[in-house]
Structure 1
Amino acid sequence: MRVATAFKLPESAAPAPQTRPAHPLRVALYSGNYNYVRDGANQALNRLVTFLEAQGCVVRVYSPTSDTPAFEPAGTLVSVPSFAIPGRSEYRVAPGLPDRLKADIRDFAPDIIHLSAPDPAAHAAKKLARRLGVPVVASIHTRFETYFEYYGLGFIRPGIEALLRRFYHGLDEIFVTSQGFGQTMRDTGIIGMAPAVWSRGVDKARFNPGRRSPEWRWSLGIADDEAVIGFVGRLVLEKGLDMVAAAVNELTQRGVKHRLLVVGDGPARAHFEALVGAGKADGAIFTGFLDGTNLARAYASADMLLNPSTTETFGNINLEAMASGIPVVAARAGGNETLVSDGITGALVEPRDMRAYADALAGYCRNANLRAAHGQAGLAAANAYDWDVINGAVLSRYRDVIAAKHS
């Protein structure tokens, strides 16, 4: 499987220089959610667009939009008609690409089309790319096919996987967030080709151990002898909220002194608060959504991160925690295994083994030296994840794909 720093064609397939576009590279990007909800995937896409434009590329982004976006988008954003998903109204789906947007893409004359969501509009964009003779690539950001199991709809997973196989077939390139995730997608048959790795970076000026604030901890009512277990993310069932609650409640039963610090918000918040005793004197602390230096302070002020999600393809929160100097207890699934070194920078646990989660957390709660050592190891490992290098590899791969199409 290729790695992010080695996107090169064999010498025998190397195209002549004149096959590359003479004008600035023009990229059309389709996203199912570019900025109306804040998550790791769309923030990575915005960073990629910012990088591409800084390199002189021209980027046009097509995505469903909202009247209340979570943040300002990078680049030129074109709204795609969409509707709210029933039961999850914070997310939207585009039923297709209207003729006017197909004409807009034709007029833009992209050198490459990048699709980041396998919805009906992306299917239409893929067909359009083929008609235009333009190379088309896709990136996979989440285990979308697994979500339905958390809502009692696991019986439709085979049908969803069949749709995904159809969508990812016949592309010029597929980007995944880690080698392990790419292999999982091949093992399940969702993709048939060896994908390229588009990893993730971390802003080390923002996330670092220097953000730790005892005063902030005190303001939340956290005692000095309480080990803080951080959970960061949208409060939705597929993030493993039930396993978080089960593990910390097990710690309480064992008499392990700790506090759960929950950073984030979402539709499952009330349900989660009830599970972890929010509002009680020694119950979980919910900060709501945090961003910027406030988020960085929360990471660094925790003593460990708990991430039981099995749907993550990379796990940005793992990397942000590592850059903040704290160990990570994560599910042995998805991209977690790429980032967390078991027994070195944290602990990897079988996804549904509640007692194993509790064991790992208890070890850190009771041993400050152990969590400090693993936190330092994680900090050193996080230094390798540089956004410009990672996004530069994507741009390099774009150019190779375009050149191969023209050769």
Structure 2
Amino acid sequence: MQTSDLRIALFSGNYNYTRDGANQALNRLVASLLGRNAQVRVYSPTVAEPAFEPTGDLVSLPSVGFPFGRGEYRFPTGLNAKIRRDLSRFQPNVVHLSSPDVASHAALRWAQDHDIPILASVHTRFETYPRYYKMGFLEPLVVRLLRRFYNRCDALVAPSQSMIDELLAMDMHDDISLWSRGVDRTVFSSEKRDLEWRRSLGLGDDEVAVVFLGRLVMEKGLDVFAETIVQLRKRQVPHKVLVIGDGPARGWFEDNLPGGIFAGFKTGAKLGEALASGDVFFNPSITETFGNVTLEAMACGLPVVAAGATGASSLVNDGVTGRLVPPGDSAAFAEAIGPYCTDPALRMSHGGAGEARSREYSWEAINQVVADTYCRLIEDRRALQRAEAGEAEAA
């Protein structure tokens, strides 16, 4: 089977209305598939003014605003009759589910009813989210719900070997392929460093900027980041803090990072310039399955200090391109960041090693893995159907 034979129905909880690493990967995947003459139809909630234009055909799913102060996200409420008719007209030969929400559960049942293979992609550690909203007691329940959802699919893809290992350990599935992530080297490179931009923010040429990049939401480990900066200040380690991004927890972060430089949301070339203009990248999050921002920081020549959790542990070579630290240990994070703030040679050595490693991540080769997985699942399903037809004839 060829990629051009594919007809993919892709379900996403957020395809383009708010920019994040997951939907950037999905849009790149769709672009790659369309470039190989596959047919793709995307089903996702939509808004009047999305963060960016979608790649491919996008069908709006019925949805409502997400609760708990996260109204920037939409919660799909299922598949209505109009969506089901659209699916029937499109006649997909594979269904791709990228978020375990209500619509994806309904799409899973629809695909099973029509004997269509199902691939699920894992983009975030949903089971860890309750602990950031004082509801950690719900984590075992979320794990059970995820296990039930994923095991009803035919296969999974995940963006890092460390995430695959976690999924296997949690018995989420036994057929999991690696769908890694790439980096756009025309945007992210050490050559994009802009001293004038730094100066405009009050950063001296010789001052070391510890960078946070991402949406400002608590599940990104903002509390650990802030406490680590407190530890650095107690140790009198010379540094500045540069925050790139925005989000609902910005007020909390500003209150807990006095003196921090908040550059706001950036995208495209401006994002590459801002990131390359930092000096040390600090990522305390444990919710990522890959960590696009970690790879982007490496491509910009920044040493990375990150939590030794899924995603970062597959990217950062401890002691070579940065440091991996036990999650949540702010004192250990400060201990790891300190030498980069005082030793320019170490900073340059580890940053250069990270930039060299980032060159291994090519989007085209990475996305072909997903196309190959689609084809395998379809061929396996057809073989099973032929075998069942033969048994029926023999009976």
TM-score by length of structure 1 reads 0.92
- 1:89 alignment partner, SS class: coil
- 1:51 maps to which residue? 32
352, 360, 369: which one pairs with 1:384?
A: 360
Query: In structure 2, what residue type is equivalent to 1:183?
Result: D
Residues 155, 386 of structure 1: alpha-carbon distance in 2 compared, 3 angstrom cutoff: same
- 2:212 maps to which residue? 231
Task: Determine if contact 2:3/2:371 at 8 Å carries over to the other structure.
Answer: no
Q: CA deviation at 1:68?
A: 2.1
- 1:184 maps to which residue? 166
Query: In structure 2, what residue type is equivalent to 1:116?
Result: S
Structure 1 residues 347-402: Cα deviation after superposition (integer angstroms, max 9, x where no partner): 00011111111011111000000010001100110000000010012111211111
- 2:244 maps to which residue? 263
- Match status 1:339 vs 2:315: yes
- Match status 1:103 vs 2:79: no
393, 398, 403: which one pairs with 2:369?
A: 393
Structure 1 residues 54-108: Cα deviation after superposition (integer angstroms, max 9, x where no partner): 0001100000111221111000000000001112111111121112211211110
- 2:188 alignment partner, SS class: coil
Query: In structure 2, what residue type is equivalent to 1:347?
Result: R
Partners of 1:31 and 1:149 lie apart in 2 by: 24
- 1:126 maps to which residue? 108
Task: Determine if contact 1:182/1:194 at 8 Å carries over to the other structure.
Answer: no
- Tell me how many residue pairs correspond in the alignment: 382
Q: Which runs of 5+ in 2 are unaligned?
A: 384-395
Structure 1 residues 1-40: Cα deviation after superposition (integer angstroms, max 9, x where no partner): xxxxxxxxxxxxxxxxxxx479732111000110111000
- 2:74 maps to which residue? 92
- 1:40 maps to which residue? 21
Query: In structure 1, what residue type is equivalent to 2:354?
Result: G
Query: In structure 1, what residue type is equivalent to 2:78?
Result: G
Task: Determine if contact 1:229/1:259 at 8 Å carries over to the other structure.
Answer: yes
Partners of 1:316 and 1:401 lie apart in 2 by: 27
142, 150, 173: which one pairs with 1:168?
A: 150
Structure 1 residues 121-176: Cα deviation after superposition (integer angstroms, max 9, x where no partner): 10110111111111111001000111111111112222222211111113221011
Query: In structure 2, what residue type is equivalent to 1:253?
Result: K
201, 217, 232: which one pairs with 2:198?
A: 217
Task: Determine if contact 2:3/2:33 at 8 Å carries over to the other structure.
Answer: no
Query: In structure 1, what residue type is equivalent to 2:343?
Result: N
Query: In structure 2, what residue type is equivalent to 1:108?
Result: F
Partners of 2:336 and 2:272 lie apart in 1 by: 24
Partners of 1:365 and 1:22 lie apart in 2 by: 48
- 1:6 maps to which residue? none
Higher RCO structure (Cα 8 Å, ≥6 apart): 1
Partners of 2:73 and 2:344 lie apart in 1 by: 41
- 1:3 maps to which residue? none
Partners of 1:292 and 1:241 lie apart in 2 by: 24
**Aligned-residue RMSD, C-alpha:** 1.2
Query: In structure 2, what residue type is equivalent to 1:148?
Result: P
Name the % identity.
49
Partners of 1:361 and 1:23 lie apart in 2 by: 48
TM-score by length of structure 2 reads 0.95
63, 67, 78: which one pairs with 2:44?
A: 63
- 1:310 maps to which residue? 286
- 2:136 maps to which residue? 154
99, 102, 108: which one pairs with 1:117?
A: 99
Partners of 1:22 and 1:246 lie apart in 2 by: 49
Q: Which runs of 5+ in 1 are unaligned?
A: 1-19, 278-282
